[in-house]
Amino acid sequence: MRDPELRAAYGRRRRQVAQYKKEAALATGLLLPAALVPHVLAATAFMHGTDTLVDGGGPVTARRTAFAQWRQAVTEALRSGRTDDPELRPLLHSVQAHPVLGERVLDYLAVADADLDFAGFATEDDYQAYLDAYSLPAFMVVAALLGPDGDQTAYRAACRTFIDSSQRLDFVNDLAEDLADGRLAIPEQTLAEHGVTRGDLEQARPTPAVRALLGDLLDQVARTQAEAAAVIGLVPTAHQPMVRCIVGIDRLTRTAARADVDALLRRSAGPPKFAALRLLGREYLRTRRRPPARP
């Protein structure tokens, strides 16, 4: 990358990712081939910026207007291949290097404003529809860069299984934070099946029914995680350490959450730091043993 302005713009994307997701930036730099790293960071920064625009603070009408303007700017830049916005230059450059990224960005922009109207789920079917309509297109913006060249049909299906486990884990793990913001992402149907009310969760009452609800949801996550591990074998060998790390961190998080479900009523669980570092170190050693890329 010889253009100093473009190199500086990519550097800003890397610093942005490191500010809000230091572990992800570190893993990307350590586990992926060097040539792919700036493109993954650019896609990650784009995703975070768009998500913040949609899901950040302020009135919904203002966020809706801001997102519409952003979607128009990005879509026009992708269509023309040009932009006067220095913050969009890395994304355009990455799309030129990996055209599949442009397709996934447009897919995501077409549905990202759906989160502005999020009001929870009545049923499990509503949750599954949300995965297809929003979560999977969002995930594929970055995941497409990690997948195989050419046809990604089987890979996308495996990503769908993974994002089912990961999104459900997030909704359970972020329960206290979501309730503080006036949101609840556990389906009403699931609450009723366990004899739990929203008030029980808002008052952080660790009743037997609440414990059973959270435990059952996390056990469901574990079963889906076991199926989702198949995604590792569908990516190029050079990308497998990164995907194993992503899958492994979710497993560690789920294990930590399951070990103390009462605590989820007050705060989110996180993977134990030593276990996460051990996972990262093990996958880094795998990258050191892989053969160098052909010129």
Residue 290: pLDDT band with limits 50, 70, 90: low
Mean of the per-residue pLDDT values of the chain: 94
CA distance 158 to 228: 6
Residue 278 has pLDDT above 90, yes or no: yes
CA distance 30 to 34: 9
How many residues does the structure list for the chain? 295
Furthest-apart CA atoms within the chain: distance in Å: 62
| pLDDT tens digits, 137-186 | 999 999 999 999 999 999 999 999 999 999 999 999 999 999 998 999 99
Residue 291: pLDDT band with limits 50, 70, 90: low
| pLDDT tens digits, 180-220 | 989 999 999 999 999 999 999 999 999 999 999 999 999 99
Residue 58: pLDDT band with limits 50, 70, 90: confident
Protein fold of 118-295: Farnesyl Diphosphate Synthase (1.10.600)
- How far, in Å, are 4, 103, 127, 160 from residue 219 at the CA level? 50, 35, 17, 18
Residue 294 has pLDDT above 60, yes or no: no
pLDDT of residue 21: 83
E strands, 28-143, in order: none
| pLDDT tens digits, 15-43 | 989 988 888 899 999 999 999 999 999 99
CA distance 241 to 31: 6
Q: Which residues of 163-189 are buried (b: 16+ CB within 10 A; e: fewer)?
A: bbbbbbbbbbbbbbebbeeeebbbbee
> Residue 77 belongs to what H/E stretch?
helix 60-80
Q: Which residues contact 175 (CB under 8 A, 6 or more apart)?
A: 184, 186, 201, 214, 264, 265
State what percent of residues in the chain have pLDDT above 70: 98
CA distance 38 to 249: 22
Query: Residues spanned by CATH 1.10.600.10 within the chain?
Result: 118-295
pLDDT of residue 292: 57
Q: How many C-beta neighbours within 10 Å does residue 60 have? A: 10
pLDDT of residue 293: 52
Residue 4: pLDDT band with limits 50, 70, 90: confident
Residue 295 has pLDDT above 70, yes or no: no
Average pLDDT value for residue range 264-279: 96
**What's the whole-model pTM score?**
0.92
For the ranges 1-5, 105-109, 273-277, the lowest mean pLDDT is seen at 1-5
